[in-house]
Structures are given as C-alpha cells and as structure tokens.
C-alpha cells in the first residue's frame, strides 16, 4: 500500500479519538443520575468508578488480542461495544440500565484506548508520536467538553417526542459512533507483522518490572484519577460553595475540558519545541496551584481559575507518560500499551475514595485525594528522558 493512503487513514483514526472522548460524559451524567434518582455522593460515584474498573480487567487482554487479530479490528470491536452502550440509555434511566450502559462504555473504551494509540503509531510510521497522540487527545477533548453542553441543552429543552431530556447526548454520540465505525471499517490500513510468539498475560504483567514502565503506569493512574475526579467534583464544589443549581454548575465540567482542549492543541506544539521534562514540570506546577485554589477557594473567579489550571496542566500528562513507556520498549508496544491503559483504573480508585471523603468532610476532602496524585507526578519528573 502506498504512503499517501496510509497518511489519509489518520482522518478516520482521529474521529475514533472523538469517540474515545464519549467516556468523559460519565462525569456530568453521574451528576444528573444522582439528582434524578436521589443518590448520595458515594453511590453516584459508583458510575464513574464502574466505567474505569473495566480498564483493570480488559487492557492487558486487549494488548494480547491485538497480537492475534490486529490493531484496526480491535478498534472496530471497541467502537461496536461503545455504540451499544450509548443505545441503552435511550430506553430508560433506571439504576440497572445505567449500570449496564456505563459498564459497556468502560469496556468499549478500554478496548479503544489500548488499540487506538498503537494504531496511530502504525499510521504515522513512527516519528512525532507524543505530539500526534496529544493532537488525538485534543480531538478527544472536543467530545469531552461538548458532553456537558449537550446534557444542559437536553435538560432545559422539552423534547416530548422522545422524552430524552439530558440523555439526548447519548443519542447524538450514538450517531457519531456509528459513522466512525463505518468509516474506519472502509479504510485500508497496512499493519506490521508480529515478530516471534505473542506474549502471554504473565509476560505482559512482568513488563511492570521495568522501572520506567511501572512509573509511567502510576503516572497515568494519577492523571486519570485527577481527570475523572475534576470532571465529577468541579460542579459539586460550585454547588456547595456558591449555591449554584446543577444546570448552572455543569459549566464547570465544560470549563475543565475547554482548557484541556487548549492544552492538548498547544501541547502538540510545545512538545516539539520544548524539552519534554520542562513542559511536564510547568504542567504539574499548574496542577498544584489548582489544588490549592479548589481546596481554599470560595470566590467564583478563584474556583474557575483553579478548574482552568488543572484542565490545562493535566492535558498532556497522559501523552508524555504513554510515549515514555512506549518508546522505552519498541518491540513490545502492544503489550506496553495494554499495561498503560490498565493505568486508567485510576479512574475507579480516585472517585471511590473521593466519594467517601466528600461524604465525610465536604468537597475539600475530594480535593485532598486528587492532591495526592499531583504529589506523585512531581516525583515522576526525575525519571523523564
């Protein structure tokens, strides 16, 4: 196949990054489900935790599945599971349906995140991997920040024909997911043959014995914990301290993702012109300032500034940690990718702890849990190449 065809394949691949962003609807959706079903913080936080639980179970097996059926077919499988997860909430909003829908969303996203990043590496043929992955994160962030707006629009519009209210966002994402599946399936992508015998599950896990792989894994756990934590907790902080309604406070989630989007877009430039280590230090310092603002802030401007800072600061952490691990073991990229995506399990651990802490001492308790993740990222700096 010629190079031109391979380069054109980046367009449907980037649309898959948009579909990858569907997982971030869980933050605002769990707030609406909490309000509709009258749940406590710790019960409502089961939803985002459940989504990211499946990364622990499916990430490494997906890395092994890629070795058998290829990267493109694995991405297509992930899209099909994601599309089904978006279809279910259109039929109702009881606790059981939402549990199954969020579980399938998590399984589909675990498959997608594990297989899509190596597929980018295939299409790009190496070179500028960190900046290309960061651009993919920018595309993903467009879906992430549009979700709260779609939910707010649905919640404030009367749509009697369908009775979907805020769940109209599932219908819109369902259409995009279906389009993405059809486009990628029609796009030819030439994949490299697997050299030697595919790794077993135990061999994959043993790669965590490599220091940079383990430390990058923990870095991704903290990144995702802070990401899902801010996504879920920012509206609650505004409601607790400023007396906003959920529809007013939902803007906080969008603000976070707007600055994450700006961070991804500008980050793909800065990662080409600045040393990775320098840019990483700037990012983590912004996140530390943000935690101070979220913990102590009682004014609207201060809380908005803190949400913006964590959005920008957290936007490139994933790409940097992922690229560090992937380039450290070029002959084991599928397996390392599976391990790195298993780190998204941080999205289960953090919200559960944050739910317990916020029920005990208000939203400041949730911020303390995220601050622990920021402290770890400071320790990761010295390991950066």
Decide if 232 contacts 30 (C-beta within 8 A): yes
pLDDT over 60 at 372, yes or no:
yes
pLDDT at 242: 93
CA distances from 81 to 87, 323, 367 (A): 10, 27, 33
d(CA 365, CA 354): 7
Q: For 316-342, write each residue's pLDDT tens digit.
A: 898 889 888 888 887 787 778 788 888
Average pLDDT over residues 13-33: 86
Strands (E) across the chain are located at none
CA 204, CA 225: separation in Å to the nearest integer?
23
Instruction: Give the tens place of pLDDT for each residue, 190-227.
Output: 877 766 566 677 877 888 888 999 999 999 999 999 99
pLDDT at position 285 is 97
Judged against a pLDDT cut of 90, whether residue 384 lies above it is answered with: no
Closest C-alpha to 26, from 102, 100, 87: 102
Query: Who has greater pLDDT, 20 or 9?
Result: 20
The pLDDT of residue 371: 96
How are the residues of the chain apportioned to helix, strand and coil, as percentages rounded to the nearest 5? 85, 0, 15
pTM of the prediction? 0.78
- Say whether pLDDT at 380 is over 80: yes
Structure tokens of 369?
């849990």
Q: What is the mean pLDDT of the chain?
A: 85
Q: Is pLDDT of 289 > 90?
A: yes
**Residue 373 contacts residue 350 (beta carbons within 8 Å):** yes
The helix or strand, by DSSP H or E, that contains position 170, with its residue range, turns out to be helix 168-185
Give the per-residue pLDDT at 264: 82
What per-residue confidence (pLDDT) applies to 376?
95
CB 322 within 8 A of CB 212: no
Residue 260's pLDDT is 87
Contacts of 210 (CB under 8 A, 6+ apart): 328, 329
* pLDDT: which is higher, 189 or 173: 173
CB 248 within 8 A of CB 378: no
């Amino acid at each position: 196949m010629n190079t031109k065809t391979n380069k054109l394949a980046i367009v449907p691949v980037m649309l898959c990054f948009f579909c990858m962003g569907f997982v971030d609807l869980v933050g605002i959706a769990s707030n609406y489900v909490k309000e509709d079903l009258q749940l406590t913080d710790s019960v409502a936080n089961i939803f985002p935790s459940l989504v990211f639980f499946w990364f622990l179970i499916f990430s490494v097996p997906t890395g092994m599945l890629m070795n058998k059926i290829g990267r493109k077919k694995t991405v297509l499988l992930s899209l099909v599971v994601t599309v089904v997860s978006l279809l279910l909430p259109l039929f109702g909003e009881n606790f059981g349906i939402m549990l199954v829908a969020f579980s399938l969303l998590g399984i589909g996203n675990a498959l997608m995140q594990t297989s899509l990043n190596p597929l980018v590496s295939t299409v790009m043929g190496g070179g500028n991997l960190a900046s290309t992955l960061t651009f993919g994160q920018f595309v993903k962030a467009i879906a992430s920040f549009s979700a709260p707006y779609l939910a707010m629009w649905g919640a404030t519009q009367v749509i009697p024909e369908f009775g979907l209210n805020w769940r109209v966002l599932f219908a819109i994402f369902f259409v995009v997911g279906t389009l993405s599946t059809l486009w990628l399936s029609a796009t030819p992508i030439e994949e490299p043959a697997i050299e030697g015998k595919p790794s077993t599950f135990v061999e994959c896990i043993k790669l965590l014995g490599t220091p940079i792989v383990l430390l990058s894994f923990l870095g991704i756990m903290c990144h995702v914990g802070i990401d899902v934590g801010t996504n879920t907790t920012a509206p609650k902080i505004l409601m607790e301290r400023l007396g906003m309604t959920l529809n007013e406070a939902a803007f906080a989630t969008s603000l976070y993702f707007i600055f994450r989007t700006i961070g991804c877009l500008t980050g793909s430039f800065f990662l080409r012109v600045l040393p990775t280590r320098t840019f990483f230090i700037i990012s983590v310092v912004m996140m530390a300032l943000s935690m101070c603002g979220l913990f102590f802030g009682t004014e609207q401007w201060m809380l908005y500034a803190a949400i913006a800072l964590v959005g920008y600061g957290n936007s490139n952490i994933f790409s940097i940690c992922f690229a560090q691990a992937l380039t450290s073991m070029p002959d084991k990229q599928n397996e390392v990718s599976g391990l790195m995506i298993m780190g998204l399990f941080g999205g289960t651990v953090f919200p559960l702890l944050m739910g317990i802490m916020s029920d005990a001492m208000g939203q400041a308790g949730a911020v303390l849990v995220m601050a622990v993740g920021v402290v770890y990222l400071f320790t990761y700096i010295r390991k950066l190449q």
